[in-house]
Amino acid sequence: MFPAFSAHYASLPDRMRAEMSPTPVSSPRLLAFNRPLAEALGLNLDALDDHHLAEVLGGNLVPEGARPVATAYAGHQFGNFVPQLGDGRALLLGELTHRDGTLREVQLKGAGRTPFSRGGDGRAPLGPVLREYLVSEAMAALGVPTTRALAAVASGDSVVRQMVEPGAVLTRVATSHIRVGTFQYFAARRDTEALSLLVDFCIERHYPHLAKSAPHLAESAPQPAESTEGGRALALLDAVVERQASLIAQWKGLGFIHGVMNTDNCAISGETIDYGPCAFMDAFHPHRVFSSIDERGRYAWDNQPAIAQWNLARLAETLLPLIDDDQERAVALATASIEKFAEQHDAAWTAVLRAKLGLDSQDDQSGDHDLALGEDLLKAMEEGNADFTLGFARLSAALEDGDETLAEGFERRHRLDDWLPRWRQRLQQQGVGAPTLRQRLSAANPLVIPRNHLVEKAIRAAVDDDDLSVFSSVLAAVTRPHEAPSEAWLMAPPTRDERVLRTFCGT
């Protein structure tokens, strides 16, 4: 059976959420279930059959202790502020305790209308549910902070978007679902009490090391007012900035493009959240965009750091009344925090590139050189129209087999030929043997990612033919990203006819 849920977020004041039950579906059927995650959350799988799981995770039964709520939040969508968004089709059941001792929120996505639905049907089509399941579990396997997928349940009902599609419900698990937009919702209403409650909640849930003391500020920095609240708010901002800087660097190192980095899709936890029109690059290009709604490239691969910092600045604005009663001093403190992002991201990005090149991340003296070396390889990939994932994965072969295995993925190799001697010279400076280098390269460079055409192939088989075999094959491959799959098509870039150039939100 399910362990008893706790209801920490549901215990916050009424204005922070809407308490309600999921809307039942006509014929729930379990399509995918994440048994390892379920076991880590304390589910007794011996006492749960597929029918009961489908009833609970499809929204027809509410488990013991759960207090389903739709949470309130606002957000900047493509730079335009919307003062009320909220969970229009999602309900938070409550929290379960993970085996590591921390709490995990369990949310049903596609559970029906809520007071925040803004005229929508509150449902989710099957395709986007399967996309989020595949990509979020791949990200978890790749070591990137992310929400997780516990289950996908077919609803038995139809959903109308551009066409009639089968409906489904995704069970999403996260350390919390609080976003920058959650803070914006209450800041827009000048509700400082709610903002203070959110600060306390986020520190307790995500940054417990901040609970006992505010960070020590540099002597040259502006000093906050003598208040515990101001110090806690600023400490939270600093911590969120640091986590987002690391997260974006990890995205970039996988060629991942979120596609819709609105403030309501920026989690305070530092987890990747809301896999809508997301995509992984095949051939590398820094300005790559796949999202059908990102017509101007606001959320392109290389623009993600700047957008993350912009989102964090919006978070800082909401915290100003808590940071200091003196507006000018509050702005100075918040600005100093936001300005840390660039340096923190650059350091994280340098570390990512060093790992992908097999370099010793502890050699701080060569940081700028290593950053340039990594980015020059990206320029060679761009010139050569080379596959991002395989371009890095084949570096290991270049250690032993010469240049040809790597170079065969480049249409033009002039820059690559200039780059390879520099890389080998840098490797020699480390004095590390080939076995260690191969191990480093293998650990940092996946062979398998959820490529757009694979995800689309899995979706089409499931939606058109009720065939989940492709989904199962892709899921098995992407959750073991450093192992070569038994079937080559699971690792290969798309052919010209297979390319997917546009991805969609599915809302």
Which amino acid would we find at residue 464?
D
The catalytic position among 50, 87, 100, 264 is 264
Report CA 122 to chain centroid distance, whole Å. 22
100 counts as catalytic: no
Quote the CA–CA distance of 276 and 113 in Å, as a whole number.
Answer: 19
Quote the CA–CA distance of 321 and 331 in Å, as a whole number.
Answer: 10
Give the residue from 236, 239, 175 showing the smallest Cα distance to 200. 236
Q: What angle do CA 294, 160, 147 make, to 5 degrees?
A: 55
Q: Give residues with Cβ within 8 angstroms of 340, minimum separation 6.
A: 238, 241, 242, 245
Q: Give residues with Cβ within 8 angstroms of 250, minimum separation 6.
A: 143, 144, 145, 348, 352
SS3 label, residue 503: strand
Quote the CA–CA distance of 262 and 239 in Å, as a whole number.
Answer: 20
Give the residue from 14, 23, 201 showing the smallest Cα distance to 109. 23
Quote the CA–CA distance of 57 and 106 in Å, as a whole number.
Answer: 10
Block residue for tokens 């001792």: 101
Which amino acid would we find at residue 77?
Q
Q: What is the H or E stretch that residue 108 is in?
A: strand 103-109
Q: Give residues with Cβ within 8 angstroms of 494, minimum separation 6.
A: 282, 451, 452, 453, 500
How many angstroms separate the Cα of 299 from the Cα of each of 7, 74, 253, 373, 485? 35, 19, 16, 25, 31
Quote the CA–CA distance of 158 and 167 in Å, as a whole number.
Answer: 5
Active site residues: 264
